[in-house]
């Protein structure tokens, strides 16, 4: 599902990281006519990030919800998990359903190597 990497499976973890320090910057690129993939940008600002989870919704031109899902992104290159490096930016690419005119994505959580998590607003 990802395409600078592939999306991994969502993981259940425990422990929480200090909410004051945002470990990633997450943004969604606008959808243009003819696009078949949604691009999200993840800029890593912390060490030991292993996964970034986000929720995505796809809408048609009339605002009807076409699909929504949770995505667990890991840096998987040619079938192998690679480190997610502090200071680097990564672009994810998720195939959109046919007829998508608008997409929204919301950062859910960041998972660290030690199993701790960080979530916006928590």
Locate the domains of the chain by residue range. 7-11+21-113
pLDDT digits (tens, 9 = 90+) for 27-65: 999 988 888 999 999 999 999 999 999 999 999 999 999
* Residue 23: closest CA among 50, 53, 51, 47: 47
d(CA 41, CA 26): 6
* Residue 107: closest CA among 66, 56, 59: 56
DSSP 29: P
Query: What pLDDT score does 107 carry?
Result: 97
| pTM for the structure as a whole | 0.81
Is the domain spanning 7-11+21-113 CATH 2.60.40.3230? The answer is yes
- Cα 119 to chain centroid, rounded: 13
């Amino acid at each position: 599902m990802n395409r600078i990497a592939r999306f991994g499976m969502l993981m259940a973890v425990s422990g929480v990281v200090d909410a004051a320090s945002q470990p990633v910057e997450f943004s969604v690129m606008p959808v243009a006519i003819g696009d078949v993939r949604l691009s999200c940008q993840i800029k890593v600002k912390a060490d030991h990030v292993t996964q970034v989870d986000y929720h995505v919704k796809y809408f048609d031109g009339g605002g009807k919800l076409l699909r929504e899902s949770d995505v667990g992104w890991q840096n998987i290159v040619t079938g192998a998990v690679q480190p997610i490096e502090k200071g680097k930016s990564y672009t994810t690419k998720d195939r959109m359903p046919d007829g998508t005119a608008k997409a929204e994505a919301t950062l859910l959580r960041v998972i660290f190597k030690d199993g701790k998590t960080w979530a916006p607003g928590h």
